[in-house]
Structure 1
Amino acid sequence: MQSRRNERNQRYGRFIGLTALGSLIPGTGLIAAGKRRLGTTVLVILGAIFVLGLAVVILVPPTELASYGGDRQMMLILGTALAAGAVAWLLIALGSHRSLEPDGLPTGKRLAGALVVVVSASVVVAPMAVGSRYAFTQRELVGNISSSGSSNTTPEVDLADPWADKPRLNVLFLGGDAGEGRTGLRPDTQILASIDTESGATTMISLPRNLQGFPFPEGTPLADAYPDGFTGGGDPLEWMLNAVYANVPRDHPEVFEGVGDPGADATKWAVEGALGVDVDYFVMVDLAGFEAVVDALGGITVNVPRDIPWGNKSLPDGTCTEANGYIQQGDNQHLDGFQALWFARSRCGSDDYERMERQRCVMNAIVDKVDPATLLSQYQSLASAAGDIITSDVPADLFPALIELMGKVRSQPLESLTLDNEFFGSMGTTSSDPDYDLLHTRIQEILADTPDSPATPDAGETTPPEDTTEATGQSADDASDDRSGAAVQQASGDAETQTDESTEETPGGDATDEPAADEPVDAGAVC
């Protein structure tokens, strides 16, 4: 009796072991059950798939492999293949279990065997199911943020080699907030990323929202509509760079018939006219959803140059309402999404140029945080947040090449250039009255990495007045920044925040250590 029981236990133990093996390596269980031809066929197919996958990983460069993430057709194939593979794997595991199961097993042992199948198979099937879900999510994300309509400003490219005749790719990043209380979207944040398509070296050019009088590129409909540049009567706030997005399509709808994002098209032409460079594509980030992206990353780490107020707003008389609190000064401060948003957009006690520096700090911190581990663990929430807040006019078919180029960008240090009072002062102008021909020349020299010495006024010339547009140019849209509605404080009279813009210290560094105002700097030195 004992011998028979031991034999049954041995048979059951062998059954459990082979069931687990057959669930982990499809085909082995079938062979052990006597179905050699079927089991061998399954093993050969599995081996061929494994060898093919290994060859792809070894032979295809990592940047090219990553670029497949931008190919919607490839993501559809991959997602479908992984889903089908997961189902097939599970069915073969169940078939092996059924073939190996001894006759007459009690219910408890049969359930135990089924549990072994589920646990063993899940080691492989679960990652395949997650991979399938990620592939479909990635496909949807590319569709959501790619071009949703025609455009007057996107270039025609050969998708087989999109950078063949394009030594530099210029992408305009726009940050806008069309949230409750705003009369319309005004992208106060405008940063042009100029990318060397060969090396990936990138210069980020931050444009002030109060730039005025800029021309539109020759040969465009807006050059005819505004022969004297973007200028006119009435409220000066309506003739600044950040007003182009809403005002130009409103006043000239015939130019933008059928265009997916007329405001972005008009703003691209405005930046082209201001800087004298072609703007290929735009990427719009809705700041109202910015918090979700940072939170999905687990927060970001930046150097905070001074206590940054949150929960207050600027008022037309140059004062500010009382802050709800402050983001504390200090190096390597960890910010959640709410804090990062206020760090990037807070205006009280500072000018636009300091705010532009902080925005670059946030962008660099996000780039640094996007590592493979974070992407894998937070991909669903990141993709969901990005799909809700990012739009662009980049064609979906261009995303593979763009992702491959981003791999080069990540390998290079980002350089930054802020078009601030010091920059314009070095050329003898201000942001409210620039010499655009001279500005075009300077930008070309900087992007060519051969900047000349800063232009200075002749000895007999009068030093131009400091640009005061920002001090009187607060938009009524700033009211959306209010979370407190508290009492007014005199930010401009605060001895700790009032500074002479011509000698203001750059956050995170000493003014005496700064490079020339019209030369790009490594953004890491600022943040």
Structure 2
Amino acid sequence: MVDGDPAAAAGASGGTGRGPAGGRAGVPGRLAEALLIAAVSPVVPGIAHLRAGRVRLGGALLGAQAAALTAAALAAGRYRALFLELSARPSWLLALAAACVALAALWALLIAHSYAVLAPEGLAPLWRLAGGTTVSVLCLLVIVPPLTLAQYGYVQRHLIRTIFADGPVAAAAVQVAARRMDTGDAARRPAAPRLNVLLIGSEPGAPQAPDRVGGITLAAVDARSGATTLLSLPDGLRRVPVWSGTEPVPFPPGRPLADVYREGAAHPELLAGGGPVRDPGAELLKRTVAHMLGLDVPYYVKVDARGVRELAATTSRAAPAKKGCPFWANLRETRPLAVLKRYQRLARVLINSVKTDVPRRLLPALAGLAARIENAEITSLRPAAGGPSAPRADHPALRAMAAREPGDPVPAVRPASGLPILIKSCN
């Protein structure tokens, strides 16, 4: 070995290039190596410490990374429904945002520390400036993904807290939205629980005028399988039995079903039971449809037409709409990644366009149900064009269709019934 040889001096100092005798000729190479290893340290934590001879710390970091990745992979494969449920809990979303911020800080710290244990000593000021600047840029780049995820979590939390009420859960909804179903012998199981939700489309009116309602659909969901039936109710239904919740409400027989919303919005005192109501018009319409069809309809979801158009514009590039299927069914076909890219816009549209009385505390159960709906059969039922122009609200064909269990084969209704119904699979 020749004294003063930079390579020999580097080897004598443990191969890290940190000794002052490392010479100036190998500074760019050693600096580049330190920066490269620091850059990959968030993906392979501990590699810099192993390179510097700190075996225990490097091994511990690698082991922790491997354990975390294994647990995440197993959880993603087996507990997807649980993740959906947690994504509907504001407290968990807040914890997720905080954890992502902490992860961003840890990754930045890991990059800085990895560079510090490998950076050659005795660097000239220009090299120190170059190394420090590069490390700062790497830290800024590495914190973008976790901070973006934290932002998504915060937006999701704001969406949930804005749209969904922090109110009581209807007793019937608790039964049908149970997250854990009996999977025993079919002969011993009760009839499949069912959740009915009234979907209302509306057109925003003047500032002092109620919205115009159109596109009234009853969604019936089998809580065990996720099978869904969407029954579109004609806007022109006449002789509507308006129901306050405990007794009939006087309503001219010539006025259509869509006018029930305006009646409730203009006269909130018609609702029985008192107490605060988010949307009296939607509440009166929901109670009327439930009474008209002889079903329990605990909740409604109302979306204005402008919001529907914006939602369609947001999701149409992700999946083409299926002709003959309601917008509600086509929403299921959007690709998660495409929606995620436009999620902030989608959340803003939902906050401005959606009203519902679904309580916030029921969302985790409904998120688990949504996971089953994704792969289940969705059937759209609607009265055929060319039928009676003003059918009665108590038409037996409507009640018969509404009473069928979701997922059951739906026989075509004969024209002799006076109200032919078109059937369309939305899968």
Fold-level similarity (TM above 0.5): yes
- Where 1:26 maps in the other structure, the secondary structure is coil
Correspondence 1:456 to 2:421: no
2:421 & 2:300 partners in 1: Cα distance? 24
Correspondence 1:200 to 2:226: yes
Contact 1:26 1:93 in 2 (8 A): no
Correspondence 1:244 to 2:260: yes
TM-score norm. by structure 2 comes to 0.78
- Taking the TM superposition and a 5 Å limit, the aligned residue runs for 1:217-232 are 221-226=244-249, 231-232=251-252
- Taking the TM superposition and a 5 Å limit, the aligned residue runs for 1:99-498 are 99-118=117-136, 120-121=138-139, 124-147=142-165, 155-157=172-174, 161=179, 167-180=193-206, 183-216=209-242, 221-226=244-249, 231-232=251-252, 236=254, 239-248=255-264, 250-251=266-267, 253=269, 255=272, 256-297=274-315, 299=317, 301=320, 360=325, 362-368=327-333, 370-420=334-384, 431-436=390-395, 439-445=398-404, 449=409, 451=411, 454=414, 456=416
The equivalent of 2:65 in structure 1 is 46
TM-superposed deviation, 1:379: 1.7
**Is the deviation greater in 114-123 or in 70-79?**
114-123
2:167 & 2:85 partners in 1: Cα distance? 23
Q: 1:26 aligns with which of 22, 45, 49?
A: 45
Q: Deviations over 1:119-171 (max 9, x none)?
A: 555665322222121122122222222125569x7745167537778622111
TM-superposed deviation, 1:437: 5.2
2:297 & 2:411 partners in 1: Cα distance? 21
1:297 & 1:281 partners in 2: Cα distance? 25
2:423 & 2:412 partners in 1: Cα distance? 12
- Where 2:376 maps in the other structure, the secondary structure is coil
TM-superposed deviation, 1:92: 2.3
- Where 1:394 maps in the other structure, the secondary structure is coil
Contact 1:150 1:258 in 2 (8 A): no
Identify if the C-alpha distance between structure 1 residues 99 and 280 changes in structure 2 by more than 3 Å, giving closer, same or farther: same
Contact 2:384 2:422 in 1 (8 A): no
2:33 & 2:204 partners in 1: Cα distance? 66
The equivalent of 1:342 in structure 2 is none
Identify if the C-alpha distance between structure 1 residues 30 and 434 changes in structure 2 by more than 3 Å, giving closer, same or farther: closer
Q: Deviations over 1:196-228 (max 9, x none)?
A: 2222222111112221223256xxx445243xx
**Is the deviation greater in 433-442 or in 73-82?**
433-442
1:384 & 1:107 partners in 2: Cα distance? 49
Alignment RMSD? 3.5
Identify if the C-alpha distance between structure 1 residues 433 and 380 changes in structure 2 by more than 3 Å, giving closer, same or farther: closer
Q: Deviations over 1:56-76 (max 9, x none)?
A: 12332x333333322222222
The equivalent of 1:59 in structure 2 is 78
TM-score norm. by structure 1 comes to 0.65
Identify if the C-alpha distance between structure 1 residues 439 and 260 changes in structure 2 by more than 3 Å, giving closer, same or farther: same
2:205 & 2:390 partners in 1: Cα distance? 28
- Where 1:176 maps in the other structure, the secondary structure is strand
Identify if the C-alpha distance between structure 1 residues 295 and 103 changes in structure 2 by more than 3 Å, giving closer, same or farther: same
- Where 2:213 maps in the other structure, the secondary structure is coil
- Where 2:116 maps in the other structure, the secondary structure is helix
Identify if the C-alpha distance between structure 1 residues 138 and 98 changes in structure 2 by more than 3 Å, giving closer, same or farther: same
Contact 1:176 1:286 in 2 (8 A): yes
TM-superposed deviation, 1:180: 3.8
TM-superposed deviation, 1:455: 7.0
Identify if the C-alpha distance between structure 1 residues 182 and 263 changes in structure 2 by more than 3 Å, giving closer, same or farther: same
1:301 & 1:379 partners in 2: Cα distance? 18
Contact 2:211 2:262 in 1 (8 A): yes
TM-superposed deviation, 1:97: 1.9
2:229 & 2:315 partners in 1: Cα distance? 25
1:451 & 1:362 partners in 2: Cα distance? 23
TM-superposed deviation, 1:452: 7.7
Contact 2:179 2:369 in 1 (8 A): no
Contact 2:239 2:392 in 1 (8 A): yes
TM-superposed deviation, 1:85: 0.9
- Where 1:188 maps in the other structure, the secondary structure is strand
Taking every aligned residue pair, what percent have the same amino acid on both sides?
A: 25
Q: Deviations over 1:300-322 (max 9, x none)?
A: 74588xxxxxxxxxxxxxxxxxx
Correspondence 1:74 to 2:100: no
Contact 1:177 1:187 in 2 (8 A): yes
Contact 2:167 2:360 in 1 (8 A): no
The equivalent of 1:347 in structure 2 is none
Q: For structure 2, which runs of at least 5 residues remain unmatched after alignment?
A: 7-22, 183-189
2:293 & 2:260 partners in 1: Cα distance? 15
TM-superposed deviation, 1:364: 4.3
The size of the alignment, in residue pairs, is: 395
Q: 1:415 is matched by which residue type in structure 2? A: T
- Where 2:25 maps in the other structure, the secondary structure is helix
